[in-house]
Amino acid sequence: MLVRMGAGLAVIAVLIAALWLYTRAWAPDRADYAVQGVTIDGGNGHVDWGTLAAQGADFAYIGATGRNGGRDPTFAANWRGARGVGIRYGALMDYSLCRSPTDQGTTFMTTVPRDNAALPPAIRLAFDPACGTRPRRDQLLSDLNTLVNLVESHAGKPVLLNVTEDFDEVYDVGSGINRTLWLDANFFPPDYASRSWVMWTATDMRHIDGANGPVRWNVVAP
């Protein structure tokens, strides 16, 4: 009995290990999603951009500003690194419900250079556990419109809105602001939001050579 139980536990352990390795390496099939890329920020440490390109990153969204109001200290180096190896690159900012949109827009504009070769900038809309502010929907949409106008004026391009599912459930951003949507859902295409997505974070668990820790791996709709 104990021998059979031990053998069963060993099989379970092997299956768990195999699943863990699979999720670390998984990405959608290129036949389904030809254009794939990565999100990089200070949490990924020093990035070897040549290696990242060799791992199949066609583009990179690079963290520029955080919800605490500060600039990502690795932004400038990552911006240069992506450009230097020919990966298409764009800037990503985290939106904060606890800071004024004007302040956030100013931080973005003084961090990210205007660059005609860059991808459209992206604004990530996700709840921050450190910020308990929850404005009414009309106030959120007004503030977000202010930020969008500032960022677009600086970049000269329309923004992408990277909206998490729980944020969208509360604010339904897609029906309030007509901008391209970038949604999140591990392993299965997202089915939330009131409009179709153009970009999808297919996994936030992927480990690839060239960057520390898990990265958010993104695909463009075919």
Q: What is the pLDDT of residue 6?
A: 52
Q: How far apart are CA 201 and CA 216, in angstroms?
A: 6
Rounded average pLDDT over 134-139: 98
Question: Is residue 219 within a helix (H) or strand (E), and if so which, with residue range?
Answer: strand 215-220
Specify if 46 maps to a domain: yes
Q: What is the percent of the chain with per-residue pLDDT over 90, rounded to a whole number?
A: 86
Measured distance CA(64)–CA(70) in Å, rounded: 9
Q: Which two tokens stand for residue 135?
A: 């404005």
pLDDT in tens, 100-128: 999 999 999 999 999 999 999 999 999 99
Any domain includes 10 = no
Q: Is the residue at 65 inside a domain?
A: yes
**19: in domain:** no
Whole-Å CA distances, 48 to 54, 71, 207, 211: 10, 21, 14, 7
SS3 74: coil
Does 78 fall in a domain?
yes
Do residues 185 and 165 touch, judged by C-beta distance below 8 A?
A: yes
Got the DSSP string for 35-58?
Answer: -EEEEE-GGG-S--HHHHHHTT-S
Give residue 66's pLDDT: 82
Closest CA to 39 of 94, 112, 117: 94
Q: What is the mean pLDDT of residues 41-62?
A: 96
CA dihedral of 193, 196, 123, 141, whole degrees rounded to 10:
-50
In a domain? residue 99: yes
CATH number of the domain at 215, please: 3.20.20.80
Integer angstrom CA distances of residue 143 from 41, 75, 182:
25, 25, 19
Q: Which residue segment(s) compose the domain that 96 sits in?
A: 29-220
The confidence score (pLDDT) of residue 103 equals 96
Number of domains forming the structure of the chain: 1
**5 located within any domain:** no
Position 49 in a domain: yes
> How do residues 196-222 score in pLDDT, each as one tens digit?
999 999 999 999 999 998 999 999 999
137-155 and 101-111 helices cross at what angle (nearest 10)? 20
